[in-house]
A and B are shown apart, each in its own frame.
Chain A
Amino acid sequence: MTDDQLDDLLSLSRAPEPSPELERSVREAWSRLAKVHDSGEPWWRRSIRIPAWTLAALPVILVAIWLLQPPVQDADGFALSDFKPAPPVVEIIPVGGHHGPPLAR
């Protein structure tokens, strides 16, 4: 059999028509969905429902997190706030004429 003959035979095969009830049930399903989609909400709000109080409380939560955070530490584990200013280094310069080793008593 040639390819053309097979194509002719395949063209004889017809699928049955879908019933009118099918369109009705699909339309009902679409209608329900279209109402949901047409509620004016953006899709991301419908997908992720965030309660309004969460959004309102967000600044308070962020400030609380900032206040409660532990002090920043360096690689050795010391908090930066642990470091106090070092005392001034006082160099004692002997005054007088003797500049050699301490005198033996």
Chain B
Amino acid sequence: MMDDDATLVFRAVRGDEVAFEAIYARYNRPVHEYAWRMTGRSSVAEEIVQECFLAFFKLAPRYDASRARVLTLLLTIARNHVVKRQQTVMAETTNDVVAVAASVEEDLLADERAVAVRRAIARLPESQREVLVLFEFEDLSMKEIGAILGLDAGAVKSRLFRARESLKRWLAPHALEVTP
């Protein structure tokens, strides 16, 4: 049986390596994916993941499972790091640069449509991109996204709608045929 987050955090804080591994295995990919989609660079995303887990384990002794899920907490920390980086290195974080950076890593991908999707996501304004990433790729609820971004559910819904509308427009030539 899988242990719940609160138990794992409690054990990890007391030096239980198995608990640490379970937490890391459960959450490193979603946090990395969020950081990568927001920055467009694997190296930066990995730095953010590292800083994020470090900050989380510092807070962990006071972790209260009734207030937030571990994933929500990690993504909140990750978002703060992304914003901080974007404020300090403003020139490197324009959407164009994110798109170009993403395209370098896309060389590994054979599917032309996957490349187009990634570029389209990178083209979105940051406020829409973070909502789309948290909803589509992290499977968070509107309420959880609102808590991370400090928005109400209506604002989250509206940003998500605008992001999806832009993607539909840009990706129309790549639409997959719907099988009956």
Contact = CB atoms under 8 A, between A and B. Distances in A.
Interface of A: 1-6, 8-10, 12-19, 21-23, 25-27, 29-30, 33-35, 37-38, 43
A14 B114 contact: yes
Given A12-B117, A13-B117, A23-B28, A3 B164 contact: yes
A5 B49 contact: no
B5 interface: no
Given A1-B168, A18-B45, A30-B53, 13 more contacts: A1-B172, A3-B164, A9-B176, A12-B114, A15-B137, A18-B42, A21-B46, A22-B46, A26-B54, A30-B12, A37-B61, A38-B13, A38-B15
Nearest 8 CB-CB pairings of A with B: A15-B33, A34-B15, A1-B168, A13-B117, A12-B114, A18-B32, A38-B15, A29-B54
Contact of A22 (B14, B15, B28, B137): B28
Given A15-B32, A29-B50, A9 B164 contact: no
A15 to B, nearest CB: 4
Interface residues of B, number: 46
